[in-house]
Amino acid sequence: MATLYEQLEKDVRYIEGSKACMNCGVCTAICPAAEVSDYDPRMVVSTVQQKDEAELEKLLKSDTIWRCGECLSCKTRCPRGNVPCYIIQALRALSIETGLFIESEQGRKQLAIKRTVGDHILKYGYCIYIDEVDLETYPEQGPVWDWLRKNRESMMERLGTSYRKNKAGTLRNTSKESLDDLKKIFDVTGGTQRFEKIEQYSSVKAKELKKEFRGEKDEYWKYLYNE
Amino acid sequence: MKLRKNEIWAAHQKEIAEDHYYFARSCIRQNIFPAAENLYLNILKNELGKDIFDDERHTTCTGIAYHSGLIPMETIMTVVARQFALMNEAGYENFVVSCVTSFGIYVEMLETWKHFPETLEKTRTALKKATGKSFEIPRNLVHASDIIYKFRKELSEKTRYKLVNQNTGEPLKVVDHIGCHYAKIFPSHGIGGAEYPYVLAGLTDEWGGEQVDYPERRHCCGFGFRQYLLKSNRGYSVTNSKKKFDSMYPYKPDLIIANCPGCTFFLDRWQYVIAEQEGKTYGENGFGIPVLTYEEIAGLLLGYDPWDIGLQIHQVAVEPLLDKLGIEYDPEKKYKGENGEDIGVPEKPKILQSV
């Protein structure tokens, strides 16, 4: 079986993002995630380049790799051309592939995102869709959004959209043919398998945490999304 | 004489095609500001006389999910390849991206295919196997705001209003906020690069406003992808937006203009949240600072009715800006539905002023 490093080194983002970090810390200075948590991209790169299999496993099981916001400000500023965010992307992918994501509180939350944005992609052809964005889930949307949502049949007509229509335009329906294409792309390229892995590993963790696990917005989803 | 960095970037030219564009919509934009993309298409077609094709077959690029750690790179690459195949089938070679996240995605995939040619071959094989389609790389790929920038002078000649306070005759103070993925990933793909982006500042200068240069001008709005998408993590997002508001506040901006759908949304909504949670407002007289996209401000200056272009859908009231610009509007029309139907009005926030 391939070691964790052997798997990581196949990811082009890891190859592109790693160029002998000298630990200057510019990435941490510019990082919005470092402002709001103890996240430190310099430490992530420093740890990964030590090539220590046990340390890498620790990282894959940690909250650390899930703190990054992927703004990619670090790519602009690194004087050596490293990209801590690309390394994070590769680590996140490996954490899910190996199932280690369920070992951290933040990693587990991937299920909550898979069951919203992830599932919306294959259902609507969009990452987000107005019908799914309610105030309970997104309270910061505020009263204007709530009013728009309640009156969306009328307002979407007034604003000239193609909401729920089978023709070009804003918020149009995605055709069955396009949705089928998306699904087939997911099947052929590992997207479907990635989603299945998130569900399968999560079911094990939910059982361990004694949370109901039946799909969609179940007790485990609410726990992950809110707490 | 050796040029300074900002002078080098000012001289940097990005290729932006003249005409005949294939338009790729944005997931966030069409939901949150549902009139913006139609306005953009109308400006290009009716004001500039351009040919831009709105294809009903393309889908999300999956970028929001990709940057949340959900989607394998091979999957997003192949979705991107399908969009290019649709563009080829429609007979176009200039790809215009409505979303900044998507723009970053498309450029990243093109660059990856260049640096790792084997990934391009694998993508071609995967697309063929999944959909039977093949594709050619676009001749030109730009963000939607690049085209408004390119034709800013032509639009300026048609505007009825300028970014000038009609009461004082002074230029309006405009904060520009550039989405991180517009140029921070690949600076040479942005006008002015990552440190000196000029894509929106150029509109401000051309249309009579005054740029606000404040300390956190280049800081992220705080989207953070998975950080915003989880209610438990949303403090990340509002904290970073607040850092920007606190930094720009002493400069008394009249307007924030943004080119990223997510940023426009967060800079609008987090002002509401900060007002209601902390009692802090950033505009005058308890209002917020209006946050508009580049085509919304272009539409206003061209004389489009603010309620026809969806400005009532913003949580931060735009009336203080309309009054400064001298734009007449009918308050009665603001919250009417289709055909003037009475559909009630939104609840007023407790702290943030609204009209």
Residue B323, domain extent? 158-340
Of B139, B218, B136, which Cα lies nearest the Cα of B184? B218
Domain match, B174 and B312 both: yes
Give the model's pLDDT for residue B342.
Answer: 97
The predicted-structure confidence for A58-89, as pLDDT tens digits, reads as follows: 999 999 999 999 999 999 999 999 999 999 99
Out of B27, B58, B337, the one facing A158 most closely (by C-beta) is: B337
CATH number at residue B87: 1.20.1050.140
Q: How many domains does chain B have?
A: 2
Taking CA atoms, A30 is separated from A25, A27, A73, A148, B328, in Å, by: 9, 5, 7, 37, 43
In chain A, residues with a C-beta closer than 8 Å to the C-beta of B220 are: 32, 69, 71, 73
CATH second-level architecture of A4-101?
A: Orthogonal Bundle (1.10)
Per-residue pLDDT, averaged over A90-117, amounts to 98
B78 alpha carbon, distance to own chain's centre: 25
Q: Classify the phi-psi angles of B342: left when phi > 0, otherwise alpha if psi is within -120 to 50, otherwise beta.
A: beta
Please indicate if any CB of chain B lies within 8 Å of the CB of A210: no
Domain match, B56 and B176 both: no
Cβ–Cβ gap A113/B71 under 8 Å: no
Cβ–Cβ gap B310/A159 under 8 Å: yes
Cβ–Cβ gap A169/B240 under 8 Å: no
Q: Is the ipTM of this complex over 0.90?
A: yes
Cβ–Cβ gap A73/B28 under 8 Å: no
Task: For chain A, give the mean pLDDT.
Answer: 97
Q: Are B303 and B46 in contact (CB under 8 A)?
A: no
SS3 of residue B142 by DSSP: strand
User: Whole-angstrom distance between the N-terminal and C-terminal Cα of chain A?
Assistant: 36
Please indicate if any CB of chain B lies within 8 Å of the CB of A19: no
Q: Is residue B305 part of a domain?
A: yes
Give the model's pLDDT for residue B12.
Answer: 83
CATH number at residue B218: 3.40.50.11810
Cβ–Cβ gap A146/B184 under 8 Å: no
Q: Is residue B97 part of a domain?
A: yes
Cβ–Cβ gap A137/B231 under 8 Å: yes
B105: pLDDT strictly greater than 80: yes
In chain A, residues with a C-beta closer than 8 Å to the C-beta of B338 are: 154-155, 157-158
Cβ–Cβ gap A72/B25 under 8 Å: no
CA–CA separation, B325 vs B154, rounded Å? 20
Among B82, B115, B144, the domain boundary falls at B144
Out of A32, A154, A171, the one facing B31 most closely (by C-beta) is: A171
Q: Is residue B1 part of a domain?
A: no
Q: Is residue B53 part of a domain?
A: yes
B1: pLDDT strictly greater than 80: no
The whole-angstrom distance between A56's CA and the closest CA on chain B is 18
Q: Are B296 and B255 in contact (CB under 8 A)?
A: no
B343: pLDDT strictly greater than 70: yes
Cβ–Cβ gap B71/A143 under 8 Å: no
Domain match, B109 and B196 both: no
Domain spans, chain A: 4-101, 109-126+175-227, 129-173
> CA-nearest residue of chain B to A114?
B70
